[in-house]
């Protein structure tokens, strides 16, 4: 949000029937199972003309029969079948497009499809199953299989099941990233970035996953201008992402709570859940409903749209910023706790001098009025008025906020897990790919080009962030670029040492990451074997940065160096 740009939105596309379901197992085995009549109920065709809505009915579930064993000899097919939602059951209970749009079925409540779950079976694939070959399957096939393997990825916040359609979602991987980078115009960006239809870079999903580094984007921008200052605005926006990462490294899980006392006192207690009309994009405000639709359909919102939606939720609807931040994190392709949660705190006024408010004038200026023209609440909506008028309406002036001493955050050194004193640095490590480095451009992968690679899907991450199907597909498409990469599910502190032993490696190499979960796992592993970190290409010189309490202090110390390209 504050100071970052995003992907351009696309039109939603409905789910398209497929003729078979592919299951991919270790070693690249892909088996196609034809559905029979019993497993293929006739569902409403989402491609027929109908009112736009965020969710289509889930595709029918095809339950293959037989035995498929992983390398450990375990038959994993019953486990996969036990996780699948029964689409026929959902259809018979009246869950159709209109139900998903309103979040409610004809009976007055949103019916939750009954998952065929065996209480004794885990909710995630076994660690013995390598999902790496799955990443290289066609997108529709990939999405369908991931929906079966991770059923909560298609479970909406209202308890219904969303569509497995991801046609409007950007593709992960280096080819798509490079193509998007080639289209960046730093001068046009500086001129129009605040407008929803402006020349924004749309690079954030690939930056988040390490497919593009900040230094690479900066270098590309500088190569397209006559003078470095012409790229200053774009580079400073990249600086926001670097700043958030540095703050995350300092605070760790502290970013999940108020960093400072709120700058204002709200008139009502904060809500601890998302309102149902918001989740269903049925608030009556044309702009808000459009933003929610776009978030669900594309996994992306323009920077201003994020700020407007967050401000309205926190200050008008009274939703606690953490609730909104967690909701965004589930859906955004570029969602990472550093940029996302700290931006929500910036809007809420718990990591800023004052809260961020927007009004209709601001909305119309940067959207050319496209939402307000058709809005039934025009002239009487929640954001009518000036900043001062909105402040008086939303905040309680009779109760002054708590004292707020000047926030000082001292930078921390780069992450270096405790070295194992019993062994030298590894020469043939296992390269650990993380959410920050899910690509062959990981500094650890670059330094050790012949080393095996492993991405571990942490069940704790799945449980805490509940990533959407679009997020999982984008992640797998990024990992598809890594030759021979394994993808396994389990606690990293257990999976990584086991694979080091099985592959005959002598330690672990990983790219620097501010993620507390990654750092904790690295510290545990480092107690028994060498773990080395490798830094990303230099974006700026942070040696003069003494305080991260505000972006302005950070950028005053580091901003000028960020305009220097990487030496050839």
Q: What is the mean pLDDT of residues 126-144?
A: 93
Residue 305: pLDDT over 80 = yes
Higher-pLDDT residue of 269, 332: 332
Residue 160 pLDDT exceeds 70: no
- Characterize the bridge pairing of strands 508-511 and 430-433: parallel
For residue 518, the SS3 value is helix
User: Is residue 74 very low, low, confident or very high in pLDDT (cuts 50, 70, 90)?
Assistant: low
Question: Mind listing the pLDDT tens digit for each residue in 4-24?
Answer: 333 233 332 222 222 333 333
CA dihedral in degrees (508, 509, 511, 517; nearest 10)? 10
**What's residue 73's pLDDT?**
55
Q: Is the pLDDT of residue 531 over 90?
A: yes
Average pLDDT on 504-524 reads 97
pLDDT band for 72, please (50, 70, 90 cuts). Answer: low
pLDDT at 372: 92
Question: What is the pLDDT confidence band of residue 422, given thresholds at 50, 70 and 90?
Answer: low
Lowest mean per-residue pLDDT among 55-64, 387-396, 472-481: 55-64
Total-model pTM? 0.80
Give, rounded to a whole angstrom, the gap between the first and last alpha carbons of the chain. 33
Both tokens of residue 66?
Answer: 């037989």
Position with higher pLDDT, 242 vs 61 = 242
Q: Supply the CATH classification number for the domain 1-9+167-410.
A: 1.10.579.10
144/147 Cα distance (integer angstroms): 5
Lowest-confidence pick of 38-42, 364-368, 436-440, 556-560: 38-42
Question: What is the C-alpha to C-alpha distance for residues 111 and 104, in angstroms, rounded to an integer?
Answer: 7
108 against 147, higher pLDDT? 147
What is the location of CATH 1.10.579.10 in the chain?
1-9+167-410
What is residue 75's predicted lDDT score, i.e. its pLDDT? 54
pLDDT at 76: 52
Q: How confident is the model at residue 41 (pLDDT cuts 50, 70, 90)?
A: very low
Average pLDDT over residues 278-295: 95
Cα atoms found within 13 Å of the Cα of residue 394, Cβ hemisphere only: 28
The C-alpha angle with vertex 61 and arms to 59 and 66, in degrees rounded to 5, equals 155
Does domain 430-534 fall under CATH 3.30.590.10? My reply is: no
Segment among 149-153, 431-435, 476-480 with least mean pLDDT: 149-153
**CATH 3.40.50.620 placement within the chain:** 430-534
């Amino acid at each position: 949000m504050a100071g970052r740009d995003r992907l351009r939105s696309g039109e939603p596309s409905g789910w398209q029937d497929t003729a078979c379901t592919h299951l991919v197992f270790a070693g690249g085995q892909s088996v196609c199972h034809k559905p029979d009549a019993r497993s293929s109920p006739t569902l409403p065709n989402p491609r027929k003309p109908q009112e736009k809505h965020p969710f289509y009915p889930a595709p029918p579930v095809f339950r293959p029969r037989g035995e498929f064993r992983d390398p450990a000899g375990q038959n994993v097919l019953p486990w996969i079948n036990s996780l699948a939602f029964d689409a026929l059951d959902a259809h018979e209970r009246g869950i159709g497009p209109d139900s998903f749009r309103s979040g409610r079925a004809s009976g007055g409540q949103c019916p939750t499809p009954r998952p065929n779950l065996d209480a004794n079976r885990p909710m995630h694939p076994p660690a013995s199953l390598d999902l790496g070959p799955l990443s290289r399957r066609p997108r529709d096939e990939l999405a369908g299989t991931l929906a079966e393997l991770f059923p909560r990825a298609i479970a909406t916040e209202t308890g219904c099941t969303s569509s497995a359609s991801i046609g409007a979602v950007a593709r992960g991987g280096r080819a798509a990233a490079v193509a998007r980078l080639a289209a960046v115009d730093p001068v046009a960006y500086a001129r129009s970035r605040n407008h929803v239809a402006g020349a924004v870079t749309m690079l954030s999903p690939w930056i988040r996953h390490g497919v593009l580094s900040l230094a690479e984007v900066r270098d590309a921008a500088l190569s397209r201008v006559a003078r470095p200052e012409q790229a200053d605005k774009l580079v400073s926006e990249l600086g926001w992402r670097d700043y958030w990462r540095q703050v995350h490294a300092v605070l760790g899980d502290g970013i999940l709570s108020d960093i400072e006392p709120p700058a204002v006192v709200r008139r009502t207690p904060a809500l601890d859940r998302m309102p149902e009309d918001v989740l269903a994009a049925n608030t009556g405000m044309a702009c808000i409903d459009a933003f929610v639709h776009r978030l669900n359909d594309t996994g992306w919102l323009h920077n201003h749209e994020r700020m407007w939606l967050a401000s309205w939720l926190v200050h008008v609807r009274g939703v606690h910023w953490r609730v909104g931040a967690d909701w965004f994190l589930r859906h955004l392709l570029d969602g990472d706790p550093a940029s996302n949660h700290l931006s929500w705190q910036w809007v809420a006024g718990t990591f800023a001098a004052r809260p961020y408010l927007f009004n209709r004038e601001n909305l119309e200026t940067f959207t050319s009025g496209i939402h307000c023209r058709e809005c039934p609440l025009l002239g009487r909506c929640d954001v009518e008025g000036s900043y001062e008028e909105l402040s008086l309406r939303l905040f309680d002036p009779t109760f002054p906020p708590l004292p707020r001493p000047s926030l000082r955050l001292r930078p921390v050194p780069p992450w270096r897990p405790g070295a194992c004193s019993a062994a030298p640095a590894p020469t043939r490590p296992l390269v650990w790919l993380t959410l920050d480095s899910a690509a062959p451009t990981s500094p650890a992968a670059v330094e050790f080009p012949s080393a095996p690679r492993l991405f571990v899907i942490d069940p704790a991450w799945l449980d805490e962030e509940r990533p959407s199907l679009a997020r999982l597909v984008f992640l797998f498409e990024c990992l598809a670029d890594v030759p021979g990469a394994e993808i396994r599910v389990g606690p990293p502190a257990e999976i990584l040492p086991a694979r080091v032993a099985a592959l005959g490696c002598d330690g672990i190499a990983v790219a620097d990451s501010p993620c507390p979960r990654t750092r904790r796992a690295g510290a545990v592993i480092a107690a028994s074997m060498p773990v080395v970190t490798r830094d990303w290409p230099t974006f700026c010189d942070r040696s003069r940065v003494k305080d991260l309490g505000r972006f302005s202090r950070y950028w005053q110390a580091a901003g000028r160096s960020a305009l220097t390209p990487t030496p050839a």
